[in-house]
Chain A
């Protein structure tokens, strides 16, 4: 029996809804297949760590606490930082550490108590190596690979 046009239109109407939802499912599949890749505000590669080697009281962070470092890591008391340090001597945005061409650099980000590498102030980006002492507020750090 030949198909009537109004029946055919009904099929088309249903087909449209079905196709719309199939498309949504396809998008969901594409999303879930892409979820395996890591996502985050910084590159996921951990290039080294910052270890606490000394602190002046009343800071309570235990010695040896290690923070992961990536290509660019910000340090401070505020929640916008990659390394958040809860201490009053550390400013909201204290310093940032960058890794360029195999060399670490640290620069002060406008802190009240200053950032020092082996005693030198880090107004401009200062190179820092493993074994150098980095002073942020009342806490001293060292970089470990």
Chain B
């Protein structure tokens, strides 16, 4: 039963206080974008050169949405975690600003010679963020008690499998040779059901592992030197793992398989406390990955890109650079990062659009060019704080399922950020995983806001149990 009350003394002041600086940043950047676009850099700053009020409408819309969120949370969910939403709001706002900035610069020349630029990138991203905030609220209200999620986890798993199967069949039918089969196009919308699959998978693992964690911690089944959990527990786990590798082969999204496997490793270690499962699983993964590497050409291509030597440019580097689907994207990304310097070129003042797909896959390099190393580290810091908050919510949760669910969802978030940032910087092969909140893409924003909603609800339930209704 949701108790609602609004009192000035017990309002979520901490959250409101944390919102001040992000709002200032949004207004500042909107001003900067306007000045870059419309003003002559050598003229002097007068009152006329400042942007008119209607220019600020998108950012003001975001500010109002976040304030409304704060108000609703203060009425209905006062005890939920107060630091997640400002952090997430800052990232979402930066994502909208980046999309606004990049949109007009990303242009395609069609066959009859006309160029069209993605000018609606910014407004689209803003719509998705506001929709995401609404979805977050809906999740908060709907998810009364996480217990029912743990009871119906098989349904969650089935839902995920159905989603992916539909996507795979549709895309195999349509275009067998496209680089990724992960997209479901319904009308004008471009959805990626794999984002929801990850959440379903985490729910499945959390429910399954919380029921069986003691059997996993001390199960006895020896295969040679390995000690494995008994068959009854091992079965469903290996089925889900097989799903991940199936995705790898069918959907051609090696980032997704890596992510699912990473989530699996994190959660099984958290649930059982046994390092040997992690080691065994890693060995199996490396072995299967090696087989995949040998069998699939595009995997070899991606790994070859990582091996390109940018500093000692040789003929081999040239060949890799010019090959289709080759190193061009990553090398341009590295050039963008390095041309940013310490404080960056400034939002709107750099040239991030030289990097292909700068608005979604390579947005990390776009941010690096315009905000510099200093700004990039600050953004990494924001991610780290979100991950810290997520794991702390997991630690404070009162039952095993809540703990594993929160930890698993935070691990999705952390692994996503890690894999795509490393891919942009040529540490890992580049994958199609979106950078949470900053990259352009509706399904990613929605899925991440669902994660935030679930985390907020778990923190709310935990503080209710600990401190009572008051």
Contacts and interface: CB of A to CB of B under 8 A. Distances in A.
A9 B347 CA distance: 10
- For this complex, into which size category does the number of interface residues on chain A fall? 35 or more
B83 A27 contact: yes
B284 interface: no
A80 B400 CA distance: 10
Contact of A4 (B14, B43, B218, B385): B43
Nearest to B374: A17
Contact of A19 (B28, B82, B388): B28
Interface in A68-114: 76, 78-80, 92-93
Contacts of B273: 79-80
Interface residues of B, number: 54
Interface in B57-112: 82-83, 86-87, 90
Among A4, A6, A22, A79, max chain B CB count under 10 A is at A6
A92 B87 contact: no
B51 interface: no
Interface string A3-33: 1111011101111110111111011001100
A41 B391 CA distance: 12
B18 A30 contact: yes
Please classify the interface of chain A as helix (H, G, I), strand (E, B), loop, or mixed, using the class held by over half of its residues. Answer: helix
A39 interface: yes
Contacts of B396: 39-41
B52 interface: no
A43 interface: yes
A58 interface: no
B155 interface: no
Nearest to A92: B218
Interface of B: 14, 17-18, 21-22, 24-25, 28-29, 31-32, 35-36, 39-46, 49, 82-83, 86-87, 90, 213-214, 217-218, 273, 343-344, 346-347, 349, 371-372, 374-375, 378-379, 381-382, 385, 388, 392, 395-398, 403, 466
23 contacts: A2-B46, A5-B35, A5-B42, A5-B45, A8-B45, A9-B32, A9-B349, A12-B28, A23-B18, A23-B25, A23-B90, A23-B378, A26-B21, A27-B18, A30-B17, A31-B83, A39-B395, A40-B395, A41-B398, A43-B466, A76-B214, A92-B217, A92-B218
